[in-house]
Structure 1
Amino acid sequence: MEGFFEVVFDGRIVPGRDLAEVKANVANLFKAKPEAIERLFSGQPVTIKKDLDYPAALRYIAALKEAGALARFKQQEGGPSVARKASDSWSLAPVGTDLLGLRPAPPVPPPIDLSALSLAPVGADMAEHQDVVPVPVGDISSITLAEVGADIGTPRELIPLPEPDLSDLSVAEVGATLGAQRAVEPVKIGDISGITIAEVGAVLDTSEKKAPPPPPKTDHLKLG
């Protein structure tokens, strides 16, 4: 593409990247001060570089994306600018520059002295050799193996149980009472003709109640 192009950034970053980290990467890329970086991330379109040819504009876009910032470029109206802006003094970092150099370095493990160690031959027993003491076994010459499926235990003779005589039993009819019926003798009640039912709310206890005792005399008591 012919003509001149300008790179514009409006504060957008690559999804999933940390904003503070992207700001640090862009500051390291352009060697810019923090206040200038904050203006870039204000959300308003800012022209980062003008008077670029097409390949140079693509290099700016790629470098910013590597740092985590999403910039865009557009064709510049007219010829190259006469007035130089503050952003014209910015430059791209050399190829191979670590843009994430602000990250803390991973911890370095302490050195370990391995001079006293050596590799064992292939097939060597790594565990410490221990002598296996054989366990003494008694005389088993009289013991033999039984055949497959043989009964190991001593067979016992099963005594058959005599069959019970059920000839005198029969099935009762449906609904019949199986238990023996017993005659229920009626309970004898004496003469209750002189008993009447009291009215509702009547006092059934007619015994004479004693009057409550008089209260104790306290006229001879005085408060101290």
Structure 2
Amino acid sequence: MSRYEIAFSGRIVPGVQLDSVKANLARLFQADAQRIELLFSGRRMVIKNNLDAEAAEKYRSVIERAGAIVEVVDMDAPIEEIELAPPPSADPQQPAATAPPGRLQVAPRDGYMAAFAEVEALDFGLAPVGADLQDDKPEAQAPRVDLSQFSLAPVGSDMGQAKAAPAGPAPDTSHLKLAD
């Protein structure tokens, strides 16, 4: 006789308002709002397990009438085994790849990790306490600029500066008098 579990992942029946589903489930499970919010966290939550087929169908239909979609899973179903590709073995015909100095050689543990076999990982170590971790800055180099096209003018020569406009005549102040 198969045993079933009821699991909920936060999915609701299309066309039903989320607030009404939460209220219906709170009434159905006699739970507070915090527990209902936990159900709608997006994670798969097992609501009930070790049910026979009739009880599992009853739970599914009642919860679906409340507006939520649950998953009924046969607990006795065989679990599908996935065989991973074996990691590449060291072929005696080919020379062993050695990592350059300062690099780690990582052997893949499965087919997924074999995709990252060519990635070079730095061999980081730990510095002693109080060590300066900042690299020394190189000395600043003066830029190399070609100035051969320029020459110096003799002292006192006109360098092409704009000459100031001559000042206009002084204003006529003969009509002004100082009072005693």
TM-score (norm: length of structure 2) = 0.42
Larger % of strand: which?
2
TM-score (norm: length of structure 1) = 0.34
Q: Determine which structure has more spread, i.e. the larger CA radius of gyration.
A: 1
